[in-house]
């Protein structure tokens, strides 16, 4: 018993030793196999292309690309990855990106892939594609897209139909295909709506096929499609284009009877047509009915009727319409007043026109130069130059600029008058005005050193302490000095008194002279021309005002006559020195009207006025 147990113990130890001895080579062999498989797997991974990412990452990457061709390369690279499937959002994004950049062939090549991979396609994709073709002016491709929708077993929507109809009718060559598609739409399960009918009705009206448009309008009621305000307006516009304004008015009545409230554009269409047909009474009645029928007339409606009255010579009626506007909640604008003034002038009602000119300028409406010219020309033709000058005065007072033709109209009328003193009272209000800085015709003098006067004289005399006489005795005056104010020096400048002036004085006087040609030295204007002087006054030694007037009456060139007239006004009115020589520099400057108009004539008037008072 004891020997048996010892034997078992010994055999057990020997067996354990044998097993451990035999398992050591097997473990080593397994380790080598694992290393070999691991190395092969690593080599296989190294030979394979790297993973590009998830479909969501690809979609974001493609959406962020500004270059559509680069986005297409990314799409193709991802497609080559094993077991990789793009998301529908990625395909949708790339298709639109390619289409909007006009890579139509690439875009169209992607569409079959959507069908092959059984994507769930959104109908909005085809709506975008149709719009892309429409923006690219490719109606044939847009129409083909409609049938492509059917190939994807998708039911087209009414939105798709209306999109394609709008694209097709924009081209007259596709008007018939658009009509055929409209008539066959029910075969594809698409029901045209009110917008569909309106699109075709408008197209046929613009094409002159009013009968087809009327037929479509009547079909709407048969197919339980309710027309809207736009439907009626389209037909009314078509009737008015055919000069069938009475039928258009009847259609308006039918519209009102059916409970529709016409919009402002419908009334505008009828008012325009009635005024063109010179049916002003009907137009005015329609204008008055608008508010009762729930549509308040606006400025366009009032101006349409006002313009219509003025065109047929009924400016007085137009004035009544204008006066009624504020009580109806609509204020006249610039066009309202200009129509009134033009109509009144055409009928010779210049006084009324002048009053409206004053009103519109007081309200901040600058009249067009043509309206002012019409009024001034009218006054000049009937010999009322004073009223013409008054209009000109109002125009300048509000900083507005008359046209050159207006000056050409009024200048000869002024020059025809030989009573200079009478014309003085008329024009002094125009010439003496302080023109605002924003005035277009002349610029005011700026009150700084750059505009300081240049030529100065200092005179002196013995006034006496007990003298109470305020008048200056010019016989006692004598010149002390004459100097030029230097603009480049400081404000305070000194001058020397002439040594010959040895008389005692207790009063001095400073005279400042500004000559026109000197003022331009700091204005940086173009050099004046001597053409007028050489052409018309070359034989004169000293050109007097009488010489200027004689040449003015004989010259035939209208532009030169206008320029000489400006110089004549300057000499006769502004300087008011009869019988003396004219200032040739002004004659040279006026040949450049831009240069002449930039001179501050209003300021010069004051200077000449006070100089004249001092000399008198």
pLDDT tens for residues 7-16?
444 344 444 4
479/45: higher pLDDT: 479
Q: Does the structure show a pLDDT above 90 at 465?
A: no
What whole-number distance in Å separates Cα of residue 318 and Cα of residue 322? 6
Report which listed range, 48-52, 193-197, 401-405, is most confident: 193-197
Choose the weakest-confidence range: 178-182, 406-410, 506-510.
Answer: 506-510
The whole-number pLDDT of residue 8 equals 46
What number is the average pLDDT over the span 2-9? 43
What whole-number distance in Å separates Cα of residue 532 and Cα of residue 590? 9
What number is the average pLDDT over the span 202-226? 93
Q: Does the structure show a pLDDT above 50 at 440?
A: no
For the chain, what is the mean pLDDT?
A: 78
455 neighbors 484 (Cβ within 8 angstroms) = yes
Sequence-distant (6+) residues with CB within 8 A of 472 are: 461, 509, 614
The whole-number pLDDT of residue 120 equals 86
Q: Does the structure show a pLDDT above 70 at 576?
A: no
Q: In whole angstroms, how far apart are CA 414 and each of 396, 583, 586, 603? A: 18, 20, 19, 22
Burial of 145 (0-12, 13-18, 19+ CB in 10 A): buried
Q: Residue 221's CB: how many other CB atoms inside 10 A?
A: 10
What whole-number distance in Å separates Cα of residue 285 and Cα of residue 15? 127
The whole-number pLDDT of residue 407 equals 81
Residue 375, both tokens: 């009024």
333 neighbors 299 (Cβ within 8 angstroms) = yes
The whole-number pLDDT of residue 556 equals 83
Q: In whole angstroms, how far apart are CA 143 and each of 92, 247, 385? A: 20, 36, 70
514 neighbors 453 (Cβ within 8 angstroms) = yes
The whole-number pLDDT of residue 292 equals 85
- The reply to whether the predicted model has a pTM over 0.75 is no
540/64: higher pLDDT: 64
The whole-number pLDDT of residue 609 equals 53
The whole-number pLDDT of residue 209 equals 93
542/181: higher pLDDT: 181
Choose the weakest-confidence range: 89-103, 280-294, 564-578.
Answer: 564-578
Sequence-distant (6+) residues with CB within 8 A of 471 are: none
Burial of 222 (0-12, 13-18, 19+ CB in 10 A): exposed
| pLDDT range class, residue 269, cuts 50, 70, 90 | very high
Q: Long-range contacts: 163-170, Cβ < 8 Å, 24+? A: 163/127, 163/130, 163/131, 163/134, 164/130, 165/196, 165/199, 165/200, 166/134, 166/199, 167/130, 167/133, 167/134, 167/139, 167/142, 168/139, 168/142, 168/143, 169/199, 169/200, 169/202, 169/203, 170/134, 170/139
The whole-number pLDDT of residue 7 equals 44
375 neighbors 350 (Cβ within 8 angstroms) = yes
Q: Among candidates 162, 218, 227, 230, which has minimal Cα distance to 190?
A: 162
Helix (H) or strand (E) run with residue 480 in it: strand 478-484
What number is the average pLDDT over the span 345-374? 92
166/477: higher pLDDT: 166
What number is the average pLDDT over the span 469-479? 56
What whole-number distance in Å separates Cα of residue 206 and Cα of residue 364? 41
590 neighbors 532 (Cβ within 8 angstroms) = yes
């Amino acid at each position: 018993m004891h020997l048996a147990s010892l034997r078992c113990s010994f055999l057990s130890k020997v067996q354990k030793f044998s097993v451990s001895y035999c398992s050591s080579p097997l473990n080593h062999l397994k380790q080598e196999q694992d290393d070999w498989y691991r190395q092969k797997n690593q080599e296989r991974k190294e030979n394979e292309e790297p993973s590009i990412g998830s479909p969501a990452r690809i979609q974001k990457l493609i959406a962020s690309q500004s270059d559509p061709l680069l986005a297409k390369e990314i799409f193709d690279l991802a497609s080559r990855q094993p077991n990789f499937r793009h998301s529908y959002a990625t395909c949708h994004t790339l298709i639109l990106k390619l289409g909007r950049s006009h890579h139509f062939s690439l875009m169209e090549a992607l569409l079959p892939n959507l069908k092959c991979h059984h994507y769930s396609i959104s109908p909005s994709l085809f709506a975008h594609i149709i719009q892309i073709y429409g923006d690219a002016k490719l109606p044939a491709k847009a129409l083909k897209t409609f049938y492509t929708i059917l190939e994807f077993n998708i039911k087209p929507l009414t939105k798709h139909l209306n999109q394609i109809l709008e694209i097709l009718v924009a081209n007259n060559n596709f008007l018939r295909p658009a009509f055929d598609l409209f008539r066959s739409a029910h075969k594809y399960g698409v029901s045209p709506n009110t917008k569909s009918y309106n699109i075709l009705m408008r197209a046929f009206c613009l094409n002159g096929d009013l009968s087809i448009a009327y037929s479509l309008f009547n079909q709407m009621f048969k197919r339980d499609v309710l027309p809207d305000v736009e439907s009626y307006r389209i037909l009314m516009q078509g009737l008015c284009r055919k000069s069938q304004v009475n039928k258009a008015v009847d259609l308006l009545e039918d519209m009102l009877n059916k409970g529709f409230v016409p919009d402002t554009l419908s009334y505008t269409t009828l008012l325009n047509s009635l005024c063109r047909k010179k049916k002003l009474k009907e137009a005015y009645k329609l204008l008055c009915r608008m508010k009762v029928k729930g549509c308040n007339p606006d400025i366009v409606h009032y101006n349409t009727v006002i313009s219509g009255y003025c065109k047929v010579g009924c400016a007085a009626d137009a004035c009544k319409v204008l006066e009624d506007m504020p009580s109806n909640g609509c204020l006249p604008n610039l066009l309202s007043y200009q129509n009134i003034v033009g109509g009144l002038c055409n009928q010779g009602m210049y006084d009324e026109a002048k009053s409206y000119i004053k009103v519109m300028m007081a309200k901040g409406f600058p009249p067009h130069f043509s309206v002012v010219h019409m009024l001034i020309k009218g006054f000049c033709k009937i010999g009322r130059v004073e009223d013409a000058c008054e209009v000109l005065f109002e125009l300048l007072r509000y900083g507005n600029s008359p046209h050159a033709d207006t000056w050409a109209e009024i200048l000869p009328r002024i020059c025809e008058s030989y009573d200079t003193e009478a014309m003085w009272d008329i024009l002094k209000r125009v010439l003496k005005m302080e023109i605002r800085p924003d005035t277009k015709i002349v610029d005011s003098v700026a009150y700084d050193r750059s505009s300081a006067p240049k030529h100065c004289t200092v005179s002196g005399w013995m006034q006496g302490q007990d003298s109470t006489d305020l008048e200056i005795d010019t016989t006692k005056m004598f010149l002390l000095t004459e100097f030029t104010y230097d603009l480049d020096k400081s404000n305070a400048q000194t001058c020397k008194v002439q040594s010959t002036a040895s008389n005692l004085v207790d009063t001095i006087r400073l005279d400042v002279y500004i000559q026109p040609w000197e003022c331009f030295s700091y204005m940086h204007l173009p050099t004046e021309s001597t053409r007028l002087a050489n052409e018309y006054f070359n034989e004169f030694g000293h050109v007097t005002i009488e010489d200027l007037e004689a040449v003015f009456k004989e010259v035939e060139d209208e532009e030169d006559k206008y320029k000489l007239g400006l110089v004549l006004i300057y000499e006769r009115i502004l300087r008011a020195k009869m019988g003396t020589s004219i200032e040739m520099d002004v004659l040279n400057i006026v040949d450049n009207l831009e240069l002449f108009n930039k001179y501050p004539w209003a300021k010069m008037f004051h200077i000449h006025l006070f100089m004249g008072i001092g000399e008198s």
